[in-house]
Structure 1
Amino acid sequence: MPADADTLAQLLRAWRGRLLPEDVGLTSSGQRRTTGLRREELAQLAGVSVDYVMRLEQGRSRTPSVQIVASLARALQLDRTETDLLHRAAGLAPPGSGTVSDHIPPGVQRMLVRMADLPLAVFAADWTLLHCTPLWQALFGSAPTGSGQPQNLIVQTFIDGSVADVATAHGGSDGFERALVADLRRTATVLDGDVRLRSFIARVRAESTRFAALWDEGRAAAHRSMVKTVHNRLVGDVTLDCDVLTVPDSDVKLVVYSTTERGPDAEKLDFLRVRAVHAAVPAGA
């Protein structure tokens, strides 16, 4: 499929022009000569350089990677049809149905912006972290999404074991692990044509005897809710409710942590919330 650099450039400029900074969780600063996001703001959101955005919008860069196109689609809050159009203009095949998608619907992106005061994250069907709020990062000490460090909850649970250092599920790790594997098996049943997903599952089975044993039990069910204690290096242990919602007409999962309005856990979350806000404000702003 040949790329169409002129169409790609036109689309990026048009889509950037219809968004305001507050639509994507940014603070508007300085006098703006035109409406819409600035190039540097789009670059920040997509995790690419301003120069690269400029070259794309001027038609001088014709072959963006699948990862960059996906990042731009998320940053521009494109719906599925527009995401497909962006892929075709870049000379790439649109994400196919029946496969794990990293597309975050615009409504979910708005929730991430408007509910930024909660530890909220979006995961793909294979439990790869797609996006999260600053408070999620502050709570779990996770790297920002788009930083080049892929974060997959299955890998963190069964291969590198890092999840156990961050949070403890009430009732023990057994229930959490079973819920996670049952959810992934459910996904594999629905998306049985995804070669990459099958390869991923085979890899984890080979590297984790625990995962393989749970997988072979054959359980398949959506992971919905659980109480967990998060071990945070700044405020200590925080006990929170974890709820998992599958977005209608999409495979992505919305995961949110919450607690009661008052009490020590709420106070700890408030402290981290303030830290997250300060960390998001550039120096000298």
Structure 2
Amino acid sequence: MATAEFGSAVRRWRDRVSPEAAGLPAGGQRRAAGLRREELAMLAGISVDYVTRLEQGRASNPSPQVVEALARALRLSGTERAHLFRLAGLLAPGGSTVPTHVTPSVQRMLDRLSGTPVAVFDASWTLLFANPPYAALMGDPSGWRGDERNSVWRHFIGPGSRARYTPEALRAFERALVADVRATFARYPDDPRLRRLVAELRARSERFAELWDSGAVGAHEAARKIIDHPRVGAVTLDCDVLSVSGSDLRIMVFTAEPGSEDADRLALLTVLGTQTLAH
């Protein structure tokens, strides 16, 4: 890995991204027009110390997930992203692997939804981006690593989520989720990360293995969900899943009926959660 060159590239690209372009407030005195290290770290979901060590050439071998997160936070083009992967000594994910690149245009759209809980997942349901309202609603994912960031793993093996289901709704949700992963597996059969994930899920979850072997078909789509929030109680929300043409991403958006008690609870927990995250 060209450690110094990687750090220089990150620092150079950080300097060119304005806070406004990254969806951040531009207040306060700034020595430069670009992002601060603290802001880049927050956007990429990594520590400030790690960003500092990367930029100063004191950290080597960043993982593909870290490089992808930096490319997204820095609003890199496809060519720039591929260059950053090369500087890290890595091969940029190609057509045979599940796409994980959040394009600058998609990121700009997400920036304009800053007051709405929004998250972006790849086609295997691994979390790529979550804005502060989503973190306030579903739990802060900034400390999640590896399989912890995959919604399928969390549901069948891990701690689950704050979503509450009736038995019938749970069965339908699980069928659709496994069917969606099956379809992704068929499109990217050579993706080693996806193959390992499916193998672990089949080995450790009888329910997942049963649904996988049944050949269930379907897709994880829009639904009304009840979220059990530890601070404001149950919140009933519409959950829409939008697909991004050409990049195989899923954008999950939670909204409440205007003027309803659920809208009030959503607004309250967003403020409370955002304050907590700020500390």
Q: Same fold (TM over 0.5)?
A: yes
Query: Residue 257 of structure 1: CA displacement?
Result: 1.1
8 A contact 1:168–1:230 mirrored in 2: no
- Take 2:47 and 2:227, find their aligned partners in 1: how far apart are those partners? 34
- Take 2:217 and 2:124, find their aligned partners in 1: how far apart are those partners? 14
Q: What secondary structure is seen at the aligned counterpart in 2 of 1:266? A: helix
Q: Deviations over 1:166-220 (max 9, x none)?
A: 3326952011111101111110111112122122112111111111111122133
| Residue of structure 2 in register with 1:180 after alignment | 177
Supply the RMSD in Å over aligned alpha carbons.
Answer: 2.4
- Take 1:244 and 1:79, find their aligned partners in 2: how far apart are those partners? 25
Number of equivalences:
278
The verdict on how the C-alpha distance between 1:228 and 1:190 changes in structure 2, with shifts beyond 3 A counting, is: same
The verdict on how the C-alpha distance between 1:281 and 1:199 changes in structure 2, with shifts beyond 3 A counting, is: closer
8 A contact 2:119–2:253 mirrored in 1: yes
- Take 2:197 and 2:27, find their aligned partners in 1: how far apart are those partners? 44
Write out aligned runs for 1:1-285 (5 A): 3-59=1-57, 61-140=59-138, 142-145=139-142, 147-148=144-145, 150-160=148-158, 162-163=160-161, 166-168=163-165, 171-281=168-278
For structure 2, the residue ranges without an aligned partner over 5 or more in a row are none
The verdict on how the C-alpha distance between 1:172 and 1:221 changes in structure 2, with shifts beyond 3 A counting, is: closer
8 A contact 1:205–1:212 mirrored in 2: yes
8 A contact 1:13–1:57 mirrored in 2: yes
- Take 2:58 and 2:52, find their aligned partners in 1: how far apart are those partners? 8
Query: Residue 60 of structure 1: CA displacement?
Result: 5.1
Amino acid at match of 1:98: S
Taking structure 2 as the reference length, what is the TM-score of the superposition? 0.89
8 A contact 1:183–1:223 mirrored in 2: yes
Q: What secondary structure is seen at the aligned counterpart in 1 of 2:40? A: helix
Query: Residue 62 of structure 1: CA displacement?
Result: 4.9
8 A contact 2:2–2:87 mirrored in 1: yes
8 A contact 1:169–1:228 mirrored in 2: no
Q: Deviations over 1:65-113 (max 9, x none)?
A: 3333222112212233221110111221111222123322222222332
Taking structure 1 as the reference length, what is the TM-score of the superposition? 0.87
Q: Deviations over 1:133-183 (max 9, x none)?
A: 21112212x2333554732211222123523x5332695201111110111
